[in-house]
Amino acid sequence: MRLQPIILGLLVATTPITAYTPKSHLNYTVIPGIFQQDDPATNASTFNFTASNFGLIDRAYPSDSTCPNRKQSTQWQRLAHYISTLNSKAKKTDRYVLFFLGRHGEGYHNAAESYFGTPAWNCYWSERDGNGTVTWADAHITPKGIDQALSVNAFWKHLIKDEKITPPQTYYTSPLFRCLSTAKLTFQGLDLPMKYPFVPTVKEHFREGISAHTCDRRSTKSAIRTNFPSYRIERGFAEKDPYWMELYAEPRENQDARSKEVLDDVLGSDTSTYISVTSHSGEIASLLRVLGHRVFSLATGAAIPVLVKTTTLKGDVPATPTLPYTPQKTCAAPPTIRDSSCNDCSCCT
Ligand SMILES: *[C@@H]1O[C@H](CO)[C@@H](O)[C@H](O)[C@H]1NC(C)=O
Ligand SMILES: *[C@@H]1O[C@H](CO)[C@@H](O)[C@H](O)[C@H]1NC(C)=O
Ligand SMILES: *[C@@H]1O[C@H](CO)[C@@H](O)[C@H](O)[C@H]1NC(C)=O
Ligand SMILES: *[C@@H]1O[C@H](CO)[C@@H](O)[C@H](O)[C@H]1NC(C)=O
The rounded distance, in Å, linking the Cα atoms of 62 and 336 is 59
Q: Tell me: pLDDT of 1 over 50.
A: no
Mean pLDDT of 125-146: 97
Q: What is the pLDDT of residue 12?
A: 41
Contact 218, 207 (CB under 8 A): yes
Query: Nearest residue CA, atom 10 of ligand 2?
Result: 43
> From ligand 1's centre to the CA of 82, what distance in Å?
22
User: H or E element: which one contains 303?
Assistant: strand 303-314
Q: Tell me: pLDDT of 299 over 80.
A: yes
In a domain, 233, yes or no: yes
Contact 105, 149 (CB under 8 A): yes
Residues whose beta carbon lies within 6 Å of some atom of ligand 2: 43, 45-46
Mean pLDDT of 257-274: 96
Which long-range contacts does 223-229 make (Cβ < 8 Å, 24+ apart)? 224/175, 224/180, 227/177, 227/180, 228/180, 228/184, 228/202
In a domain, 10, yes or no: no
pLDDT, one tens digit per residue, over 158-188 is: 999 999 999 999 999 999 999 999 999 999 9
pLDDT, one tens digit per residue, over 187-240 is: 999 999 999 999 999 999 999 999 999 999 999 999 999 999 999 999 999 999
pLDDT, one tens digit per residue, over 75-125 is: 999 999 999 999 999 999 999 999 999 999 999 999 999 999 999 999 999
- Count: domains in the chain: 1
CATH number of the domain enclosing 101: 3.40.50.1240
In a domain, 256, yes or no: yes
Q: What is the pLDDT of residue 348?
A: 80
pLDDT, one tens digit per residue, over 301-348 is: 999 999 999 999 988 777 788 999 999 989 999 888 887 777 778 778
In a domain, 147, yes or no: yes
Q: Give 264's pLDDT tier (boundaries 50, 70, 90).
A: very high
> From ligand 2's centre to the CA of 35, what distance in Å?
19
Query: Nearest residue CA, atom 13 of ligand 3?
Result: 48
Closest-lying ligand 4 atom to the alpha carbon of residue 111? 5
In a domain, 272, yes or no: yes
Q: Which domain holds residue 143?
A: 90-331
184-214 burial by CB neighbour count: b if 16+ within 10 A, else e?
bbbbeebebeeeeebebbbbbbbbbbbbbbb
- Torsions phi, psi for 96 (to 5 deg): -115, 130
CB neighbour list of residue 334: distance below 8 Å, 6 or more residues apart = 116, 120, 123, 124, 125
Find out whether the beta carbon of 311 lies less than 6 Å from any atom of ligand 1.
yes
**Active-site hit among 106, 113, 204, 208:** 208
In a domain, 178, yes or no: yes
In a domain, 346, yes or no: no
Contact 297, 285 (CB under 8 A): yes
- Neighbour-count burial of 144, counting CB atoms closer than 10 A to its CB (0-12 exposed, 13-18 middle, 19+ buried): middle
Closest ligand to Cα 310: 1
Calculate the CA 203 to chain-centre distance: 11
Contact 211, 249 (CB under 8 A): yes
Q: Compute CA distances 230 → 43, 52, 225, 262, 339, whole Å.
A: 38, 32, 8, 22, 44
Closest ligand to Cα 46: 2
Q: Is 205 a catalytic residue?
A: no
Q: Is 208 a catalytic residue?
A: yes
Q: Tell me: pLDDT of 5 over 80.
A: no
In a domain, 258, yes or no: yes
